[in-house]
Amino acid sequence: MLRVSHLGKSFADQTILKNVSFELDAGEIVFVLGTSGTGKSVLLKLLVGLLKPDAGEVYFKGQELTQKTEAEWNLIRQKIGMVFQQPALFDSLNVFENLAFGLRRLTQLDEYQIQKKVAAFLELVQIRCDLQSFPSQLSYGTQKRLSFARTAILEPEILLFDEPTTGLDPQSTYAINTLIQKMSKELRVSSIVVSHDMECAMAIADRIIFLDKGEVLWQGAKDQIRHSGKDLVNQFLMDLTL
Amino acid sequence: MSFLTSLGQGVIFLTTILGYFKRLDFSVNEVFEQIWKVTKESALMTSTAGFFVGAIMTIQFTLQLNEFGALGYLGGLATSGTVREIGPLLIAFMLSGKIGAYTSAELGTMRVTEQIDALKCLGADPIRELVVPRFLAIILSSFFLLGFGLVMSILGGVFMARIFGGISPEEYFRYVPQFVHLGSIVLSFLKCLLFAIILATNCSFFGFYASGGALGVGRAVVKTAVITMVGIVIADWITSQIADVILRTVVQS
Ligand SMILES: Nc1ncnc2c1ncn2[C@@H]1O[C@H](COP(=O)(O)OP(=O)(O)OP(=O)(O)O)[C@@H](O)[C@H]1O
Ligand SMILES: [Mg+2]
């Protein structure tokens, strides 16, 4: 589905990512773990063309993505959706318009179909709020879930999540994890989830990639992780048993 | 190095924006909405500031001209000074404090909260939808506000001359044509246009490329204010120099 090969990125003289390679199959959930500042967010932004890599390639269903123009990216971004680390809802638009935003620009749906779809996805993320309210009037957890819905509503084939549960209460965390799993099992959506949360990873990941200082420290199936032999990985595992 | 890099990026940014204008690739409605917003928010401030700038100029000139018994020239001198130099400069400063800070904070916040990235991911072009309408609206409304401020400053001058120096409006305006030529007025409006372009470029550039959270937005606002004001003063000096040269050649020939 998605193949990342020897990806590298630097800003000025600071190398953020080097030689990152991995693959993602249909319906698979891959967690990317690592300490703060190792370039996890940068990695996701490279995959949706918000940043351009200095080295390496990204193949989506056999198409090479890194050389695409902005117009071509608009088509690809319907297939690869990103849920940002911050809710990133548009301040000046109400809840309904935020959710309808992508549908209005990227699909041919009419107003009635848009309304139905918005209602369906609000149901999916279990949010009942006034559609006319503005993001600033909503709690952080609600905003995060709306942000999830705004991306998922375009029904992409790959979803990229940048710390979807950081800063959320256990209940919302559970709800989001369940959603990611549901999209993967029922709709065969592949997900890459950037996270600090080992517990979530152990709960829903198929595979785990560990990044350290911009490089892949370890990657493999979830059940292999106890045999990684890497100190940093073991530290993350230790948090889990505490 | 980093200054030159920013300058280069600024030039690229400006050419990108001009590309949208050339292709007429922007929403006219959005531009009008922004013009209305900017003008509505700043009209009162600009007219008040303009009025008092004119008043200050009159007071200063009254004190000095009085010593030479040349109060008759008050209107001419004060109006000329206000229209050609002080008016555009001070009003542009005020606008950069208000419109410039507001716009760069607004765009900067959208950048650091990832709203600009989200726009891109949902099929929108942030430069087309956020920057171009604001840029055009700032230029048009600053130009308009500066012109309006200048008229107010002249009124302020007349008013102060009446109160402070006991000079009637007819007397005040008597020598104005000798001091303020068509050239000065054209120059003044050219300056206004130039200042407006400097303001619009700086605030959209620094806001749009802000980075580093709330702190980054703060930095973007400060940079906008400082660089706009310094830029305006330098541009003012350059235009005055050029105008001076042109005026002298015209007079000589
Ligand atoms: N646009 C940019 N320009 C310059 N440097 C950047 C840019 N984006 C990110 N960086 C730098 O890249 C490094 C990695 O950032 P990134 O946001 O990917 O970290 P992260 O792994 O997501 O961390 P966190 O867990 O805190 O979100 C940081 O040092 C950051 O300062
Ligand atoms: Mg991050």
Give the SS3 label for residue B154: helix
Contact A18, A8 (CB under 8 A): yes
**For A157-167, what is each residue's pLDDT tens digit?**
999 999 998 88
Q: How far apart are CA A39 and CA A18, in angstroms?
A: 10
With contacts defined as CB-CB under 8 Å, which chain A residues touch B119? 90
Cα B43 to ligand 1 centre (Å):
42
* pLDDT at residue B181 is higher than 80: yes
Map out the domains of chain B as residue ranges: 33-252
With contacts defined as CB-CB under 8 Å, which chain A residues touch B123? 74, 77-78, 102, 105-106
- Closest CB to B118: pick one of A70, A84, A105: A84
**For A152-207, what is each residue's pLDDT tens digit?**
999 999 999 999 988 888 888 888 899 899 888 888 899 999 998 888 888 899 99
Reported pTM: 0.90
Give the SS3 label for residue A197: coil
Q: How far apart are CA B92 and CA B233, in angstroms?
A: 10
Length of chain B: 253
Confidence of residue B164 (pLDDT cuts 50, 70, 90): confident
Q: Which residues in chain A come in under a pLDDT of 50?
A: none
**For B5-29, what is each residue's pLDDT tens digit?**
888 998 999 999 999 999 998 999 9
Length of chain A: 242
With contacts defined as CB-CB under 8 Å, which chain B residues touch A161? none
For chain A, percent helix, then strand, then coil, each to nearest 5? Answer: 40, 25, 35
ipTM score: 0.92
Contact of A90 with chain B, judged by CB distance below 8 Å, is answered with yes
- Closest CB to B117: pick one of A88, A89, A101: A88
Q: How far apart are CA A128 and CA A135, in angstroms?
A: 14
Q: How far apart are CA B130 and CA B127, in angstroms?
A: 5
Using the atom order of ligand 1, give the atom closest to the CA of residue B212: 31
So what's the pLDDT on residue A242? 62
Beta partners for residue A23, in sequence order: A3
Q: How far apart are CA B207 and CA B201, in angstroms?
A: 10
A106 min Cα distance to partner chain B (Å): 6
The DSSP annotation for B42-108 comes to HHHHHHHHHHHHHHHHHHHHHHHHHHTT-GGGHHHHHHHHIIIIIHHHHHHHHHIIIIIHHHHHHHH
Contact A159, A183 (CB under 8 A): yes
Which of B6, B120, B122, B127 is the best residue to mutate to test the A interface, defined by the most A CB atoms within 10 Å of its own CB? B122
Contact A145, A152 (CB under 8 A): no
Q: How far apart are CA B10 and CA B30, in angstroms?
A: 24
Contact of B117 with chain A, judged by CB distance below 8 Å, is answered with yes
The set of residues, in sequence order, having a beta carbon less than 8 Å from that of B29 and lying 6+ positions away, is none
Tokens for B184, please give them. Answer: 């000065």
With contacts defined as CB-CB under 8 Å, which chain B residues touch A82? 117, 121
Which of A86, A92, A160 is the best residue to mutate to test the B interface, defined by the most B CB atoms within 10 Å of its own CB? A86
Q: Under an 8 A CB cutoff, do A82 and B110 touch?
A: no
Number of helices (H) and strands (E) in chain B: give both, helices first: 12, 0
Pairing label, strands A2-11, A55-60: antiparallel
Q: Under an 8 A CB cutoff, do A50 and B117 touch?
A: yes
Going by alpha carbons, the residue nearest to atom 4 of ligand 1 is: A11
Cα A37 to ligand 2 centre (Å):
7
- What is the average pLDDT value for chain B, to the nearest integer? 90
